[in-house]
Amino acid sequence: MRKSYITFLFLIFAVSSYGQKAGTIKDFDTNFAHTVYFWLENPDNQEECMAFENSLRKFLDNSAYAKTKFIGTPPRASRDVVDGSFTYSLIVTFESAEAQQKYQDEAPHKLFIEESSDLWTKVIVYDSTGI
């Protein structure tokens, strides 16, 4: 009986302490995902990278339409099918394609492009809707 009780307490502790906490959960809206890959002209230039990151964060913090806001960099490729040639990735979700279009036209997005477009040589966008 005591062993079962200890096992039960351990399981409750393990389950309650594992995973996301309420304050760290980010909603991922599956209605519309906007994935962008950026290749910076000088990816080893820390000053330019910081300028790009600051401009991107400022834009996302001020966007009225972006929900999930993920900024990433390529991990060390572990398989041949992984393309790690980009400098930054951005995944933003929206409640609809219409909201994504409003995001394209809003002032913070246009300011980001104005501030940062000289820093990149290539941008590829993949948009998708959930199934």
pTM: 0.76
- Phi/psi at 19 (5° precision): 95, -170
pLDDT at 5 over 60: no
In b/e form, how buried is each residue of 62-81, taking b as 16+ CB within 10 angstroms?
ebebbbebebeeeeeeeeee
Give me the domains of the chain, ranges plus CATH numbers.
26-75+83-128 (3.30.70.100)
Closest CA to 109 of 58, 38, 59, 52: 59
End-to-end CA distance of the chain: give it in Å, rounded: 48
Sorting pLDDT into bands at 50, 70 and 90, what band is 81? confident
pLDDT tens-digit readout, 27-72: 677 789 999 999 999 999 999 999 999 999 999 999 999 988 999 9
